[in-house]
Chain A
Amino acid sequence: MSYFMGIDVGSRTTKGVIAYGSRAKTFHTIFSSNNYREAAEKIREGLLSRARLQAADIAYTAVTGQQLDNLSFPFHKASDTRCCARGVNSLFPEARTVIDVQGQSTQIIRVDEKGKVVNFVVSERCAAGSGRFLEIIANVLRINLEDIGPLSLKSQNPVAFTTSCAVFGESEAISRVAEGTPKEDILAGVHRALAQKISTLIDRVGFEARCAISGGGGLDMGLIKAIEQELGLELLIPQKPELVSALGAAIVAQESKP
C-alpha cells in the first residue's frame, strides 16, 4: 500500500493525482461547480476508478486549495504554497523560484533544494493579477480560453494597458475592440500587464534562478512568453502545470501520514 493521493480544489477546477513515490500514476480534472466538498469527493472516486484501485490502496490523502472540513475520508489539510513548492521540486529540482498563476490569485514561492518553502508572496485580493483577468478578457473578445495563448503570440504591436485593475481592464479592452484594435494585440497587452504585475511580486520576495511556472496560467503560451520577456529568462514549464499542486499534495500526504 504505497499510493498517495493529492487533491487540489480550485475555484474553477478540481485536480487530483495518485502518486507512487513522487511520480504521478493517475491524474484527473473536473469542474468545481461551486460545491467544493462534492468536487473533492467526486475527484477521489474518479481517480480510484481510473487507477483501478480501492480506497484501501491509498495510504493517505492531502487536500489543498479551498479549505475543506468533514470529508468522507481521512486527509491532511495543506496550504497550496507548500503543495506547489513540493510539486515543482519533484519535477524540477533545480527550480528556486516558482510563479504559480491560479484562477483567483498568483503566488511567487521561493523554494530550497528539498522543495521547502523559504518565502512566498501572494497577490492581493484583486483579479488583475490572476487567471480570472484572462477569463474576463477572453469573454470580452469572445474567444475560448485555450485560444488566448496562440492568438497573443501572433501580435506585432501589443496594446499598452494603463490599468492593473481587472474591472477597468475589461472596459479598456472593450474600448480597444470598439476602436478596431486586433484581438491579438489586446491579448498581448493583457499578457504584458500580467507579466509586469508578476515581476513586481518577484521583487518583493527576491529572485533566484531557475524559475518555474505552475497553475493554469502555465497553459497559456502568450503569458509565458510575456513573463520570459519581462524577466529576461527561460521558464521551466511542466507538461501539465495545472496539476503541479495536486502532485505536490500527494507528496505532502506521504510526508504527513500519521
Chain B
Amino acid sequence: MSEKSKGLSKVEEICSQRSGRAKELKDEGKKIMGYFCIYPPLEMLSALDLLPYRILGDMREPITKADACLPTVVCPFDRSALDLGLKGKYDFLDGVVWAHVCEVGEKTAHVWRTYLNPAYFHFIDIPHTIHKPAQNQFVQQLKDFQKTLMSFTGKKLTSEMLAEAINAHNEQRSLVRKLYDLRKPDPPLISGSEVIKTLKAIMSLPVKEGSELLREVISEVGERKDGVPFRPVRLLIWGSIIDDTPLIEMMEELGANVVMDDTCVGSRAFFPDVKLTPDPLEGLAYRYLVDLKCPRTFKESTYGETKKDYLTDLRSRFSYISDYAKEWKVSGVVLQSVRYCDIHGYEVPGLGDYLDSVGLPHTYIEHTYDERSLAPLRTRIQAFLEIIRS
C-alpha cells in the first residue's frame, strides 16, 4: 500500500487488492483470521492480536469450482465465497471462524473445513432466539470459542484485554455512525457506493487502522465541494449482503441516491455498540444476539404469550427501519435479496406490510449475486422510482 494515499483514494486502493494489507501483516508475523458473516465477535480476535478479515464473495467472478461441493440451488453469495476459497484466494488466512447464521452458512462452513482444512477452524453455534436462556447458552459458546483461541495462539485472553478490544471496536462503530451522518444532508455528502467500499476496506484492516481510515474519509468528505450530485429520490436499501457496487450504481444512474442501508456490509454490522459488563462475554453475547438486526435471529415482541397481534409484532421487529427513514429522509425502500436466501425471503411479506402501515413505498428485487444478472432489474428500479416521483 502506498504511503501517500489517504481517505477515499486509499479506500479505492485497498478495495482493488483487499488482501494486500493482511498479507503485509502476515509477513510481519501477525496471524490472519477469516470470519464469515457479522456474527463472530471480532473483539475476541482483536484482543489476541489476530487480524479479523471478513470473507466475502466476488459477484464479478464466475462460480466454477464451488458447484462440485455445494448444490447450485443455495445462496449464491456462499457459493461465491467458497468458490474463491477453492481457487486459493483465501490461502493467506491462518484460521477461519464461522457462526451458525443460516442453514446454508452452516453447511458451507463444514464444506470449507473439509476442502480447505485451515490450521484453525471454529464454528460458533449461535442460538436463533433472544430470550435469557438463549443468551446464557451463547455465553457458554463464547467460552468454548475463547478456549480454542487461547490454545491456538498460546496466549491467555483476560477480561482486561477483551475490554480494551471492545473499546477499540466501539470507537470504530461510533466513527461509522459519524460516516452515516454524512448521508443525512440532501444531497448526501458521501454516496452509497463510497460507503460500501469504505466499509469493505475497514473489514480487511486491524481495528485501529480501520478507524484511522474512517477518520480520514470523514474529514475528506466533510470538506470536499464536488461530492454527490442531487438526485430526486432518496433510497434505503434493505436485505441480504451487498458487498459490491453495481446494484447501487444502477440506482444512482436511474436518479436515486442510496442514503441509508440495512445490510451487513453496512449499518447492520456496525451500529450497535457492545456494553462493557463485569464479564465481557455477557456484553458481547447480548450485542451479537439481541442488538444485531439480522433476520437470522427470531425476535418476538412478547416472549411466552400465546396470542400475537400482527401489527404489534411487526412494529417491534421493524420500527427501526422507519426511524432510519425519518432520520435519513428516505422516500422509498428497496428490499433486495440474493436468490435462495430463505431468512430474508421469509421476512419480505411482513416487512412489506409494515412499510405499508407507515406509508413508505417499497419494492422487492431478487438477484443471483452476479454482476451480469442485474440488467433485468433495471426496469423494475426505474418503474419504482417513477412511482415515488409521481
Contacts and interface: CB of A to CB of B under 8 A. Distances in A.
A79 B386 contact: yes
Interface string A170-184: 000000000000000
Interface in A102-124: 105, 116-122, 124
B387 A80 contact: no
A31 B66 CA distance: 40
A67 interface: yes
B390 A120 contact: no
A80 B366 contact: no
Interface stretch (B182-190, B321-329, B373-381): B373-381
Contacts of A52: none
B383 interface: yes
A75 B387 CA distance: 20
Contact of B378 (A67, A116, A117, A121): A67
A81 B383 contact: yes
Contacts of A121: 364
Contacts of A116: 387, 390
Contacts of A142: none
Contact of A125 (B376, B382, B383, B390): B376
A117 B379 contact: no
A80 B384 CA distance: 11
Contact of A118 (B366, B375, B376, B387): B387
Nearest to B376: A125
B373 A122 contact: no
Given A124-B366, A125-B373, A79 B390 contact: no
A125 B373 CA distance: 9
Contacts of A78: 382, 386
A82 B380 CA distance: 10
Contacts of B378: 67
B387 to A, nearest CB: 5
Interface string A76-98: 01111110000000000000000
A117 B376 contact: no
Interface string B351-388: 00000000000011010000001011011101100110
B386 A117 contact: yes
Main secondary structure of the interface of A (DSSP, over half): mixed
Given A117-B387, A117-B390, A79 B373 contact: no
A79 B379 contact: yes
A102 B390 CA distance: 25
Nearest to A114: B390
A248 to B, nearest CB: 12
A82 B373 contact: no
A247 B383 CA distance: 17
B366 A79 contact: no
B379 A80 contact: yes
Contact of B386 (A67, A82, A124, A125): A82
A105 to B, nearest CB: 8
A154 to B, nearest CB: 36
Contacts of A77: 382
Contacts of A124: 366
Contacts of A82: 383, 386
B379 A67 contact: yes
Interface in A171-221: none
A122 B380 contact: yes
A69 to B, nearest CB: 11
B317 to A, nearest CB: 21
A6 to B, nearest CB: 15
Contacts of B373: 125
A178 to B, nearest CB: 29
Contacts of B364: 121
A77 B381 CA distance: 13
Interface string A118-159: 111110110000000000000000000000000000000000
B383 A120 contact: yes
A81 B376 CA distance: 13
Nearest to A252: B386
A117 B376 CA distance: 19
- Indicate the member of B364, B376, B378, B383 with the most A CB atoms within 10 Å: B383
A122 B375 CA distance: 14
Contacts of B363: 120
Nearest to B366: A124
A117 B383 contact: yes
A185 B176 CA distance: 62
B386 A81 contact: yes
A52 B136 CA distance: 81
Interface in B220-250: none
A67 B381 CA distance: 13
B180 to A, nearest CB: 29
Given A117-B387, A118-B387, A124-B366, A79 B376 contact: no
Contacts of A119: 387
Contact of A81 (B366, B375, B379): B379
A100 to B, nearest CB: 11
Nearest to B368: A125
Contacts of A105: 376
A121 B383 CA distance: 10
A122 B382 CA distance: 13
A119 B373 CA distance: 23
Contacts of A120: 363, 380, 383, 387
30 contacts: A67-B375, A67-B379, A77-B382, A78-B382, A78-B386, A79-B379, A79-B380, A79-B382, A79-B386, A80-B379, A80-B383, A81-B380, A81-B382, A81-B383, A81-B386, A82-B383, A105-B376, A116-B390, A117-B383, A117-B387, A119-B387, A120-B363, A120-B380, A120-B383, A120-B387, A121-B364, A122-B379, A122-B380, A124-B366, A125-B373
Interface of A: 67, 77-82, 105, 116-122, 124-125
Closest 4 CB pairs of A and B: A81-B383, A79-B383, A79-B382, A82-B386
